[in-house]
Chains A and B, each alone.
Chain A
Amino acid sequence: TPVLAEKFGLGRVALPEEIAAWDQEVRPDGTGLPVGSGDAIDGEEIFADKCASCHGDFAEGIDNWPKLAGGADTLDHEDPLKTVGSYWPYLSTTFDYVKRSMPFGAAGTLTDDEVYAITAYILYSNDMIEDDFVLSNETFFDVDMPNAAGFIVDDRATTEYPQWSGEPCMENCKTDVKITMRALVLDVTPNQTAAEPAAEAKV
């Protein structure tokens, strides 16, 4: 349908410098990648300085902070480990996210070469490149992402909606009902005030 453009004459034209400052995203086809380069050896040093306090020296993650490496071939396991190596479909996302939003608490402070080097170190930590591989806007697509083919577009309209539609059962829907799991056995709900049931019910 054609868009009927009723103009109000509000706002002003964005200047190229302004667009360049905010339009930073990198797309899967490499659009938005700046010119630059870095390797895992440089990356290791930067990572140790700016990333390892949360993500670990080998990108393996500390405490509850995200693990960036490991987990290969675990996606169909009971407890999959989803990392850049095991899960992320596009390398562009790693560059884009690190450049715009990392380090946590000091986002936007890395140079483009630093982001290339950190990205290279994350790839190296995932055994995806050799230590002498120089990642750059030129070599960006020489890296294979193991789970690139691991995603499908939302298919609920065919796999779920038809079978969960229509008049539901109202009477005699089950013969027997048994309790199979109880939250109080796990006991991981935060304590509220003493008078509240979460604490009282815990006997």
Chain B
Amino acid sequence: MTNKTSRRAFLRGAAAVGAGAATVGAAAAQTPDPLITKVQPWASELGDGVDAVRYGLPIEFEGDVVRRNVEWLTADTISSINFTPIHALDGTITPQGCAFERHHSGAIELRKEDYRLMINGLVDRPLVFTYADLERFPRENHVYFCECAANTGMEWAGAQLNGAQFTHGMIHNMEYTGVSLRTLLEEAGLDTAGDLSAKWVFVEGADASSNGRSIPMDKALDDVLVAFKANGEALRKEHGYPVRLVVPGWEGNMWIKWIRRIEVMDGPVESREETSKYTDTLADGVSRKWTWAMDAKSVVTSPSPQSPIKHGKGPLVITGLAWTGNGAITRVDVSKDGGKTWETARLAKPGEKMAMTRFYLDTDWDGSEMLLQSRAMDDTGYVQPTKAQLREVRGLNSIYHNNCIQTWLVRENGEAENVEVS
């Protein structure tokens, strides 16, 4: 630790003492706050020049706002998952640098110059595009969430992981720029395919896992994007640089990264990722396949186990995220008593289709224990179910698509824990 940091730490300590004296409402301070009365180094000395950092990272004090891995979940870190720190974020746009990753054979490095996209199968002319070709098609911009089908999957059997990052962090929400898949398919020509209602596209990545998935043609021609920018800049390597598929509202596995080939077909491939994986086993042993849409879901991100209440009683902002793959969020209710009574939260903005919505409940906390829950509703009228309701239909073994209501126990000391309630 440098001297400078130690001195700052000392001053922060002094400030904490000052603040401690003023915990009861807006009571008068007993002693003047040296952060105000003393000239601080940052108010006197010089900061960094504009040439110090050509592409910046967050300030060091935000060092805990990072992706995290849970070692025991997978056999290794290559075909694995990490988690977005949603407990520490606000608004809806996920910073790309801490947006979760899910790979099946690692994050590959693919230069734009080496990039090729093929369209083949039941098309009039099979085509090969370079990256430069893709940038010459008309572009669209849309904000969408990408949620892993397995998000919250570890929680089927009970309350396991202690933090919203771990229970709900296989998700990110970005503004994408790209070309509609429809435009590319029409460039290859679909007359050969005939009746499109029964046709499919099979999409695969350039990585070793390939991650091939079958998508019905009506979705392919509706809102699927072949994206090359996210949140204004090129995709990150780990998110599919230079080009990925964006499949609004549908499970993250279908958002093929490093996309290299799109084949128009007269049926689904039934690839590994839609038979062995991403199929949902019910209690009787029969499994659902093609469970593409991610249903309405929400979670309180703060307070939560990684974001405890540290300020004592009084004004408290309860906040969280809601999303639905079936349309737009219309309402989020919050309960402080484990679902006995509900209050309707305030949406920061009207819900947008297949994008994250931020909600707030501005409340006055009396310091008593809470069982915090949130319950999302979407414009189809669907209401986010409890885990008990989900289990009643599906049993315990479906692994994917757990969109249950989450409960945080918030204790009198402000600490929070992941629990299940009756």
- The chain A residues found within 8 Å of chain B, CB to CB, are 3-8, 10-14, 18-19, 22-23, 25, 27-29, 54, 63-66, 75-76, 78-80, 82, 84, 87-90, 92-93, 96-97, 100-101, 104-105, 107-108, 150-156, 159-161, 164-166, 168-184, 186, 188-190, 192-193, 196-198, 200-201
Contacts and interface: CB of A to CB of B under 8 A. Distances in A.
Interface string B174-212: 000000000001111111000010000010100011101
B287 A192 contact: no
B142 interface: no
B25 interface: no
B320 interface: no
B385 A164 contact: yes
28 contacts: A5-B191, A12-B127, A23-B261, A75-B286, A75-B287, A78-B396, A80-B281, A93-B275, A101-B208, A101-B210, A101-B272, A104-B79, A152-B286, A154-B290, A164-B389, A171-B341, A173-B340, A173-B341, A174-B339, A177-B340, A179-B419, A181-B420, A182-B417, A186-B158, A189-B160, A189-B162, A197-B308, A198-B306
B142 to A, nearest CB: 21
Interface residues of B, number: 105
B68 A192 contact: yes
Contact of B196 (A3, A18, A90, A105): A3
B26 interface: no
Interface string B213-241: 00000000100000000000000000000
Q: Which 6 residue pairs are nearest across A and B when measured between Cβ atoms?
A: A76-B285, A75-B285, A177-B338, A64-B75, A107-B208, A183-B418
A10 B64 contact: no
Interface string B23-53: 0000000000000000000000000000000
Q: Is the interface of A mostly helix, strand, loop or mixed?
A: loop
B161 to A, nearest CB: 5
A173 B306 contact: no
Contacts of B271: 25, 93, 96-97
